Structure 1
Amino acid sequence: MTARPVAIEESMIRGAVEIEKTERGLVPHRLPRWARRQIPDRFMIQTSAESAGVRLAIRTSADVVELDVRARRIAADADTPFPPSVYEITEGGTLVASAGAPAGSRYVFTFERPSGEIVPGPGATVRFEGLGTGAERELELWMPYHDHVELLELRADAPVAPMPEDAALRWVHHGSSISHGYRAVTTTGTWPVVAALRAGVRLTNLAFSGNAMLDPFTARTIRDTPADLITLKTGVNIISGDAMRVRAFRPALDGFVDTIREGHPDTPIVLVSPIWCEPVETSAGPTIQDPSRTEEWSIAAGSEADVEDGKLSLRVVRAETAAIVERRRADGDERLHYLDGLTLYGGPDAAVMPLPDNLHPGPDVQRLIGERFADRVLAGFTTPLQRSRS
């Protein structure tokens, strides 16, 4: 049977907070338009537009599924070829198919030359075949976490309908490039997706590489997004960018939680402190590239003496975050929780599974963090009874 066009219904799209209709299709966004207008730098324009955690949730008996897309990826120049981007299909938490397609457009950006020029290019077709079992299946088609993706047309050789809504826990997560998935090979290897698939929850990933900065527009977006559980993993970007001192960090984190509580007065919120990162464990940021090495390798530009003067290190961020949670719980917010990031990836883990650039987890650590997070955090919130008692 020939694959025929299928209307892409907005109810098929998960992991987005807003869907834009274009002349040719639909663009899922992880920030609403009003928030996108407040983005303060060119790097975040692209990273917040990328499709981390965005997928199509469908029910079909199709053997062949095709998706036409127009995708954009960040690049250092306008010419260097890309490897194909990987699109994946999961069923019941298990990867069942993957296919490659090029990102035809690019966003030209480096921190040394931050032009942010968009170089438009052609669309592409993602084709999956051999899916059919003769029965209807509930499938999720995941977009590449590092691409901005416009959905142009869906085709299949059998009817396709949106996956029905279920009672799965709605998990909203905010974090840095580590949560966005940087250095993972594919989307299903990013730790939030690993965790969501393992625990059987519905993920909305509002992690933005380089930009977990406690921005008020991010807090307002989370405030307005339906959720049964909210997790916030912040600190490392603030240190890496040397964006705050202790004096600013304390009220900024309090205010971020205050804003979210306006829309989620009873929703469990877990503040997750940073995982192990040797350069800034006890020294202050910013993090910089080691000029003595040709490969990416992060070191701290600050010192322990800077921390004594009020700058932030990871050790300070963990202590401050834990103290804020303890105080707010004592004041009555018993649905606010703290998770030490070192329980997800700590010094002993680093000794046997080091970070490849001294800052970001490789694929092995992304998976480790996801599995631990599913078992140690999500498992405690995945039944109505546990949810009501959290």
Structure 2
Amino acid sequence: MTKRAYNFNAGPAALPLEVLERAQAEFVDFRGTGMSIMEMSHRGKVYEEVHNEAQSRLLSLLGNPSGYKVLFLQGGASTQFAMVPMNFLTAGKTGSYVLTGSWASKAEKEARLIGETHIAASSENNKFMSIPDLRSIEIPDNAAYLHVTSNETIEGSQYQQYPDTGSVPLIADMSSDILCREFDVNQFDFIYAGAQKNLGPSGVTVVIAREELLAESPKHIPTMLRFSTHAANNSLYNTPPSFSVYMVNEVLKWIEEQGSLAGVEKINREKAGLIYDTIDSSEGFYRGPVEAGSRSIMNITFRLPSEELEKQFIKESEQEGFVGLKGHRSVGGLRASIYNAVPYENVKALADFMNHFQKNHG
């Protein structure tokens, strides 16, 4: 095998090498069946065992909370932007949103197509370089839910704590930081996440929700867009993305092997500390635009003194085997996505490269 790249892509993102090697070993003949899991019926016993195992393993990593159900859906978080209001934003209610960046804004914009929305708080006035003070969040009396985006992949900000919404359901898009750290799932009524950053490959979207929220969906919306359809059929109403679900199960096993969420969080904070320390000690050569109290431990954004230097940084880093360090086209700059599967050694290599680049160009 050729040397693996230093993969800092924002998504689809790095997968654990151990998981890829296990999948490779099982790819042609899964559990002695003479078939790949991609070739099997999703109604068969072998696939259903994997499907159910992935659901139970995810809940186990979250402490086996009572009254929650896991769904495996398709369409990514972008489809959830519409499904959430279609299912929960009923007549006379308002969908309340905290705007923290590009993805939160897209979620709110989609909900506006379905019903009335309300901005509970926003950090747009400082270009989304912070998470709003939780005390500033204003939830209307007729709120159907409060929606937050736990981590903004593009801007590089992340909630450090979550708001207490009382009797109003709290809904979170956790696509880019789910399972990166310990958190109390009981704070949330509904969580969704595209898998392709921390859970597995693209193709499957995970939902973790209170069962009562999934029980009854409005009958006027299409069958496939009702959460109740998927809950009643164990996410097997139609053909699921079976290989992606299998890979999610393998990634969840890998997380268990790292010491579950506590172990993963420890490593993630060490990785993030390497890069943020490099930025902060560079005497202004590198600049982290996100306020210190809102910095993400998954997506680290930074700037150089000029766009010319940023282009040179990308050019030289690619020559050294680094991939995915260019910032999103909407904001520019540089970004290192250091999801769970990105090894500490790769992040150390990036910090060393950053120091070397500063020495040569500072």
Shorter-chain TM range is under 0.3
TM-score, reference length from structure 1: 0.24
Greater relative CO (CA pairs within 8 A, separation 6+): 2
Instruction: Flag the structure with higher helix content.
Output: 2
